[in-house]
């Protein structure tokens, strides 16, 4: 094998099973790549010793003809997942050196199936951001650069460490969390695949909570097939999360390559937003043509409340965040800054421990939940959410199997270019992804092409609740037709 | 609706986040930008729409009312910023 880090996850899995490569050499190749790519700042904690130990154990199982679905596969883990004995911070100063005494359900299922942990990946602080610039560990660089430019671009967010690491071949796959687009938008910005499954498909137990009614875990990988393999291990019912759904997990990989003949793909006219670059519009049209050529039927649909999703999200998500983040008070874990009394201790701790974006969102959430404003803001936003979900329900009831949209309104932008004066400028990045979280639906972003200056662009497919299989089938058609899986130039070495 | 400086201080107090005097004006501007953005929801008539309580139609499961864990003070206290024996230490709360 020439370069072990260039294998897809499926290829590596098959080579490991056939004993053509060992888990230890695969782990070593990725550890080397990870250590040579510190300029990207994708990993906030490298765990090479743990990776080698886990890989050795995988090799022992493989030698005996045993091993799980991910035996020996090296993965990166977003720092939002609690990992037993391994520092977990949500990339916030307030968690300091927090070392969990427990493992999140999603990661425990990856280890159960034999995966190998390379380390913890960078993200926006508490997953609040669309550019990975709010992390207490500093920003992540996108492995991609525009043709003829040396400017550092953002890898998207909040799972920017995950997207950069997978795109740069620093792991074969990674975990992410998606509250408003935090898996799909970074996947689009880095030319890889990311799927947010249906709300309730993956357990939230042991993942740091941001907005509990919106948060869902999902995988990043370089192909649709690889993401299907990962999701099967991550998904499943968990008695420790009362919102996780007790439904059997299908063999998602079996849906990859399934025919899309006769499927009805909805193209919502409301996603044709003002100021959208012509190349995004053209790519979207091209995506519909690809699916049509594969036998699907393209229908124009209307999702009339689309434009209200983002403002409603910026009430619901901060409200839930203000409640979830109340637990960071300097008493049981994390950083503490003393004060004259207990209240001042809380206030000083939270002022020093939270970054600017997190404070803004906690304060907005506190305001919209405060006496006298609750009905005007929070209840109204939850009513709008009902309308957004109803739009999708009606489209699906009318026979639409999946909805095709662009993932983002632009390719990756330059670091430091957005949101410094007006936070809303950054929020607009999630305009196409946030509706999916508001309605609890599954959504996948698949690499579909490149901008005029050579930056990756993604298309999003949105499915019926718990029909991730149709997303893998349609996503594979986009992947095959676009032929847009590419490797960025290794400028960081 | 927009917030004034006094409201920013009140909300910060409710959120238990210390805000310095020279941060108030900046925060006020940012909060008002967000509140201005969400104002467009007022254009919708939602009088007869029920607020969403769950995206998936499911009943909240109930578990057996039994002790499932406990007796692990070292694990619980391992990350404490300040501890004494098996207790978290906080500033005096009751005079």
Q: Please list the rounded mean pLDDT of every run of 10 residues in chain A (493 residues).
A: 89 98 98 98 98 98 97 98 98 97 98 98 97 98 97 97 98 98 98 98 98 97 98 97 96 98 98 90 98 98 97 97 98 95 97 97 96 94 97 98 96 90 83 97 98 97 98 98 95 95
Q: How far apart are alpha carbons A263 and A478 in whole angstroms?
A: 14
pLDDT for A16 equals 98
Length of chain B counted residue by residue: 95
**Contact between residue A43 and residue A170 where contact means Cβ atoms under 8 Å apart:** yes
Of A309, A351, A311, A304, which Cα lies nearest the Cα of A328? A351
CB contact under 8 A, B52 and A342: no
pLDDT for A2 equals 60
CB contact under 8 A, B17 and A338: no
Find residue A174's DSSP bridge partners. Answer: A76, A220
CB contact under 8 A, A350 and B75: no
- Which residue of A326, A370, A386 is in closest CB contact with B52? A386
Asked about A158 being catalytic, the answer comes back as: yes
Task: List CB contacts (< 8 A) between B76 and chain A.
Answer: 101, 332
pTM: 0.97
Helix intervals (H) in A83-129: 105-112
Q: How far is CA A411 from CA A122, A127, A130, A165, in A?
A: 21, 20, 12, 18
Q: How far apart are alpha carbons A264 and A192 in whole angstroms?
A: 25
**Contact between residue A77 and residue A336 where contact means Cβ atoms under 8 Å apart:** no
CA quadruple B75, B79, B83, B89: dihedral sign: negative
Strands A456-463 and A443-450: antiparallel
Asked about A182 being catalytic, the answer comes back as: yes
Q: How far apart are alpha carbons A171 and A30 in whole angstroms?
A: 6
CB atoms within 10 A of CB B57: 6
ipTM score of the complex? 0.96
pLDDT for B58 equals 81
Task: List CB contacts (< 8 A) between B15 and chain A.
Answer: 322, 350, 359, 362-363, 366
Task: List CB contacts (< 8 A) between B17 and chain A.
Answer: 347, 350-351, 354, 359, 362-363
CB contact under 8 A, B40 and A322: no
pLDDT, tens only, B35-62: 999 999 999 999 999 999 999 888 888 9
Q: What is the distance in angstroms between the Cα of B93 and the nearest Cα belonging to chain A?
A: 6
Q: What is the largest CA-CA distance in chain B?
A: 58
pLDDT of residue B2 exceeding 90, the answer is no
**Contact between residue A264 and residue A451 where contact means Cβ atoms under 8 Å apart:** no
The two three-digit tokens of residue A126, written as one number: 């508490």
B interface test, pick of A94, A237, A332 with most B CB neighbours within 10 Å: A332
- Which residue of B7, B52, B88 is in closest CB contact with A385? B52
- Show the CA angle centred on residue A135, arms to residues A132 and A136, nearest 5°: 165
pLDDT for A425 equals 82
Asked about A104 being catalytic, the answer comes back as: no
Alpha-carbon torsion angle B29, B32, B38, B42, nearest 10: -150
Task: List CB contacts (< 8 A) between A101 and chain B.
Answer: 72, 75-76, 78
Q: Which of A22, A58, A104, A158 is catalytic?
A: A158
């Amino acid at each position: 094998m020439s370069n072990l880090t260039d294998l897809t996850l499926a290829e590596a899995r098959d080579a490991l099973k056939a004993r053509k490569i060992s888990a230890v050499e695969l782990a070593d190749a990725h550890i080397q790549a990870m250590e040579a790519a510190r300029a990207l700042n994708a990993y906030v904690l490298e765990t090479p010793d743990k990776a080698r130990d886990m890989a050795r154990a995988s090799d022992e199982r493989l030698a005996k003809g045993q091993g799980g679905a991910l035996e020996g596969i090296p993965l990166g883990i977003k720092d939002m997942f609690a990992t037993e004995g391994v520092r977990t911070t949500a990339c916030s100063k307030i968690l300091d050196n927090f070392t969990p005494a427990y493992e999140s359900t999603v990661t425990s299922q990856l280890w159960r199936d034999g995966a190998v942990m390379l380390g913890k990946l960078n993200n926006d602080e508490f997953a609040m951001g669309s550019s990975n610039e709010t992390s207490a560990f500093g920003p992540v660089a996108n492995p991609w650069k525009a043709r003829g430019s040396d400017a550092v671009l953002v890898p998207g967010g909040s799972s920017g460490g995950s997207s950069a690491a997978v795109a740069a071949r620093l792991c074969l796959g990674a975990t992410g969390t998606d509250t408003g687009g935090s898996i799909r938008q970074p996947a689009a910005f880095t030319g890889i695949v990311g799927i947010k499954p249906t709300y309730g498909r993956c357990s939230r137990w042991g993942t740091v909570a941001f907005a509990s009614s919106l948060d869902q875990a999902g995988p990043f990988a370089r192909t649709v097939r690889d993401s299907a393999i990962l999701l099967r291990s991550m998904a499943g019912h968990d008695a420790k999360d009362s919102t996780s759904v007790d439904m059997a997990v299908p063999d998602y990989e079996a849906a990859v390559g399934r025919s899309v003949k006769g499927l009805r793909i909805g193209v919502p006219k409301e996603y044709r937003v003002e100021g959208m670059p012509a190349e995004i519009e053209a790519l979207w049209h091209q995506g519909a043509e690809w699916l049509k050529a594969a036998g699907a039927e393209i229908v124009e649909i209307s999702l009339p409340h689309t434009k209200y999703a983002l403002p409603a999200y910026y009430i619901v998500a901060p409200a839930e965040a203000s409640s979830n983040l109340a637990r960071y008070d300097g008493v049981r874990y994390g950083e503490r800054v003393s004060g004259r009394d207990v209240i001042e201790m809380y206030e000083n701790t939270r002022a020093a421990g939270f970054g600017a974006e997190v404070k803004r969102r906690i304060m907005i959430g506190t305001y919209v939940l405060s006496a006298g404003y609750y009905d005007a803001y929070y209840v109204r936003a939850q009513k709008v959410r009902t309308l957004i979900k109803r739009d999708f329900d009606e489209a699906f009831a009318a026979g639409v199997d999946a909805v095709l949209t662009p993932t983002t309104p632009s390719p990756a932008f330059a670091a430091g270019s957005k949101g410094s004066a007006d936070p809303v400028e950054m929020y607009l990045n999630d305009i196409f992804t946030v509706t999916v979280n508001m309605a609890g639906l599954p959504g996948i972003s698949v690499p579909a092409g490149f901008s005029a200056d050579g930056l990756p662009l993604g298309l999003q497919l949105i499915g019926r609740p718990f029909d991730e299989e149709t997303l893998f089938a349609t996503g594979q058609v986009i992947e095959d037709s676009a032929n847009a899986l590419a490797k960025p130039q290794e400028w960081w070495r | 609706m927009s917030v004034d400086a006094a409201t920013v201080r009140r909300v910060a107090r409710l959120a238990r986040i210390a805000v310095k005097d020279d941060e108030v004006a900046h925060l006020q501007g940012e909060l008002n930008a967000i509140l201005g953005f969400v104002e467009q929801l007022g254009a919708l008539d939602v009088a007869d729409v029920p607020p969403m309580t769950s995206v998936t139609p499911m009943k909240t499961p109930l578990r057996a009312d039994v002790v499932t864990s406990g007796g692990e003070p070292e694990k619980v206290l391992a990350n404490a910023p300040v501890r004494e024996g098996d207790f978290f230490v906080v500033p005096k709360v009751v005079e």
